[in-house]
Amino acid sequence: MSQITEDDRLLIEAAQADPARFVDVYERYVDRVYVFVSRRAENRAVAEDITSQVFARALAGIGQFEWRGLPVAAWLFRIASNTLADHWRERSREAHDAPPDVPDAGELENIERRLTLYQHVERLPDLQRQVIRMRFVEEKSIREVAAALERSEGAVKQLQLRALENLRKSMGGHG
């Protein structure tokens, strides 16, 4: 943890001296923030929109950030929590919606698990990865995927099954 916080300190100081360096903060934490937000957003577009707002707010507030030794992730999760609460208020969902809690140890572990899963997707054989993207990201039906890949629906279902089984094996005890 001490190494992480020291790296964080250097990242923040560099970004405070030169806003262009804030991109380094983004690169390090965007995946975690996205995973945190996506569990609470109603769909992918909203999750992406809110993640974008989190980093815009963080950039705007970088000058006022005071180093207190807490991980930068905790600061970003707090901004994400407030941004989600603003989103819910704007959506007029329920007046008593309070900001979600920043992740506890259990959720942090869950976030890391999902990041690992996403990394494993990138390592899947090309066809299996394409099926995953089309089914989950583009939300295509099996028929549409089959047409796009010029394969039978049965073959695509088998590719889908193999992809999920590969991911389960790759995740090992984390699945």
Partner 1 sequence: MAERDLADRLDETIDAIVARSDATAALRDRDLAALARIAADLRHYPRPDFKSRLRAQLEWRTNMTAASTMTTGASATAIREGFTTVTPYIRVAAAGLVDFLVQVFDAQETFSGRGGGGGMHREVRVADSMIMVGEGEAAGGGGVMPVSPVAFHVFVKDVDATFTRALAAGAASLGEPADRPYGERSGFVADPFGNHWYIATPRPRGEAEVARGPESVASALRTVTPFLHATGAAEYDEFLQRALGAVEEMRRDEGGQLRYARLRIGDGAVELGEGEPMPGSFLLYVADPDAMYQQALAAGATSIMPVTDQPYGRIGGVADPLGNRWFFSRPIQG
Which chain residues interact with partner 1 by CB under 8 A?
Answer: 18-20, 22-23, 26-27, 30-31, 34-35, 38-39, 42-49, 51-52, 55-56, 59-60, 90-93, 113-114, 117-118, 121, 132-133, 135-142, 144, 154, 157-158, 160-161, 164-165, 167-168, 171, 175
| Choice between 67 and 118, CB closer to partner 1 | 118
Give the span between the Cα atoms of 108 and 9, in whole angstroms.
21
Q: Residue 105 CB, nearest distance to partner 1 (Å)?
A: 19
Q: Where would I find the H helices in the chain?
A: 2-17, 22-38, 44-61, 72-90, 105-122, 126-132, 142-149, 153-171
3-class SS string, 72-87: HHHHHHHHHHHHHHHH
Q: Residue 140 CB, nearest distance to partner 1 (Å)?
A: 8
Give the span between the Cα atoms of 63 and 1, in whole angstroms.
24
Q: Residue 131 CB, nearest distance to partner 1 (Å)?
A: 10
Q: Residue 46 CB, nearest distance to partner 1 (Å)?
A: 6
